[in-house]
Amino acid sequence: MVSNTHDRLPIASLADLLAAVPYLLGFHPTDSLVVIGLTGKRVTVAGRTDLPRRADLPAWLDGISRQQLAMLRNVAATTAIVVGYGPAADVTPVVDALTPRLHTAGVTILDALRVTDSRYYSYQCHDPHCCPAEGVAFDPVHSAVAVHAVVAGQAALPDRAALVASVAPVTGAARTAMTAATRRAQERHFTALSGGGRAAVIRAGRKAVRETFARYADDRVLTDEEAAWLSVLLADDAVRDVAWQATDTAPWHLALWTDLTRRAEPALAAAPATLLAFTAWRQGLGALASVALDRALDADPHYSLAQLIDRALRDGIPPTVLDGWPTTGNHTP
């Protein structure tokens, strides 16, 4: 998913576009298929998936073509650029199979490209002056587009594995401390529930969410005790919804939910990881939203809010549908 920030990247050529792709996704793609949708002359969406194995191509094609078409239609993109990352033997069959389906569905394929070892090759242009057989070299790291993106505060991690690692559970001494703090928080939760029922838990949740938002808005973080207490409280959907309705596109919201997703006990990660996914999706960071959803669904495969956001991502629903969120009520927990 592409946010408005990316619209300001100075893209004037295919080399510029390819240099921008890592910043559209949040990481440098490898062994991937990327479909970039344009509405008019503006890049409005970018979707990535792993390249399939040759034997899996027919089954993969049915699902991915529906997904990519839904993604393009949801942003009214009628033009696309298809880019395969990897060796020709892996990329060419995929591009050859997918592009006719997109074309038949009414999508104009502006170009279909293969990127291998920082060179791109066009499947549609055969003019040796602009698209020689040996490919066209480009610099995805030091180009003007990359420099512009970095100056604008955008980042592109080395690969998807690095993105996954950025939301992985903390380990070592940090995990030991959080595990102990979570046990104490669960005992505290039991005491609150026994003494005042669920209403007492929800009141405590509102207070914890309010204090957490104030803390991160001031560029400070929770202690282990506070983080453990909030992670336990968020297991109640009513408390989770208080935090959900207060979450918007402020940069510190991303920091908040990333921190809590990493520090929460893995079994309690569904709520904070889903809120991280929601925040990332709203900021146009679709790849980060996707790996956050993986964390959430690993913790609870049936977590309904995670499933809802996952469906929105797969269908390419733009985050602009939530402009003004929440439409009713108050942002303050």
Tens-place pLDDT, residues 65-100:
888 888 888 888 999 999 999 999 999 999 999 999
What is the rounded average pLDDT of the residues 244-266? 95
pLDDT at 268 over 70: yes
Kindly report the pTM of this predicted structure. Answer: 0.81
Q: pLDDT-based confidence at 153, cuts 50/70/90? A: low
Please check whether residue 77 is in contact with residue 49, taking contact to mean a CB–CB distance below 8 angstroms: no
Q: Single out the residue of 249, 256, 198 nearest to residue 226, CA to CA.
A: 256
- Confidence at residue 332, expressed as pLDDT on a 0 to 100 scale: 57
Bridge partners, 38 (sequence order): 43, 79
State the span(s) of the chain assigned CATH 3.40.140.10: 4-157
pLDDT at 114 over 50: yes
Q: Single out the residue of 58, 122, 55, 57 nearest to residue 88, CA to CA.
A: 122
- Confidence at residue 51, expressed as pLDDT on a 0 to 100 scale: 95
Q: pLDDT-based confidence at 2, cuts 50/70/90? A: very low
Q: pLDDT-based confidence at 328, cuts 50/70/90? A: very low
| C-alpha–C-alpha distance, residues 321 and 190, integer Å | 39
Tokens read off for 49: 């998936």
- CATH class for domain 172-322? mainly alpha
Q: pLDDT-based confidence at 149, cuts 50/70/90? A: low
- Which residue did the predictor score with more confidence, 232 or 157? 232
| C-alpha–C-alpha distance, residues 28 and 202, integer Å | 42
CA dihedral 92, 61, 291, 87 (to 10 degrees): -10
What is the CATH number assigned to the segment(s) 4-157? 3.40.140.10
- Confidence at residue 232, expressed as pLDDT on a 0 to 100 scale: 98
State the span(s) of the chain assigned CATH 1.25.40: 172-322
Q: Which of 8-17, 55-64, 91-100, 227-236 has the lowest mean pLDDT?
A: 8-17
